[in-house]
Structure 1
Amino acid sequence: MRNTRIDLAPEVREKSIELLNARLADAIDLKLQAKQAHWNVKGRNFIAIHELFDAIAGRVDAQVDELAERVTALGGVAEGTLQAVTKRTTLAAYPLRADGGDHVARLADALAAYGKAARAAIDAATGFGDADTADLFTGISRAVDKDLWFLEAHLEG
C-alpha cells in the first residue's frame, strides 16, 4: 500500500481496500451480466428490456469506476482484471442462453445479491471507521434498489 495524506490509519485503509476490491469484482461481474442480458434478450417487450439492461450496465459501470478510484485514492491497487474478478466475485454464474423473462429474473437476482453485499459493506466500513467508503456504498445501495425495482416491475403480472 502506498503512502497518502488521507488521514485514515493504515489498518483502516487496508480494510477499506480489501472491502472495495471485493465489491469491485462483484460490480464488474454484474456489469458483464447486464451486458450479456442486453445483447441476448429476445421476446415480448424487447426494446424496453433491452434498453433497461443497457442503462443498468451503464450505472454499474460508473460504480465500478468509483470503487476502483476509491481503492487507488486510499493507496491500494484496484484489482479489475478478469482473473481477479473471476477469483473474487460472489455473484452466481450467468447463463449464456436464457429467454427474455429469465434474463429479467436472473439479472434481478444478481442485483439483489450485489445490493445485499453493498449494505454489508456499509456496515463494515462504518464499523472500522471509514465514513467515506460507507457513503460510497450507500450511494451504490440506493441505485441498486432503484434498478431492482425496475426489473421486478417487469416480473409482475
Structure 2
Amino acid sequence: MATNVLGPIRLIAAFVEHLQTRPDATIMTVSSGLAFLPLKITPSYNASKAAIHTLSESVRLQLAGTSVKVVEPVPPAVRTALLPGHEDDERSMPLDEFVTEVVGLIEAEPDAKEIQVERVKFLRYGEARGDYDQVVAAVNG
C-alpha cells in the first residue's frame, strides 16, 4: 500500500515547483470507485485509493490560485490485465469504452476536478444517495 501512495506523493513533490512555473499545468492522480466503499478482497487497495483521493483534494487546495490544476480520474472496475482474470470479467468496463468516455469528459469539462464515468457513480455516490449499505452488499455479494 505504501508505494501506491508514496509514489504519487514523491512525484508531486518532485515536480510541483517546476509545474508552478508553467502557464498551464495539470497533476493527474488516479483513485478508484473503491476509494469510496470497500471491496472485502482488496482492503489495502481500497485504503490506498482513498488516500489518493484525499491527497488530490489536499494538493488541489494547496495549489489554488496557481497555474496548476489537479485532476482525479475515478475509474470503476476496468478490464485490464492488472489482476489475473480481470481482463475477461464481464462486470468490469471494457478498457476502450473507459478511455473513450474519459477523453470525452476531459474535453467536455476541462475544469473538472474529478473525472467520473457513468459506471463509477454507483460506487462514488452510494453514501450521498443513502444506499451505501446496499452498494457495499452488491459489490461484495
Provide the TM-score with structure 2 as the length reference. 0.30
Provide the TM-score with structure 1 as the length reference. 0.28
Structure with the largest fraction of strand: 2
Structure with the largest fraction of helix: 1
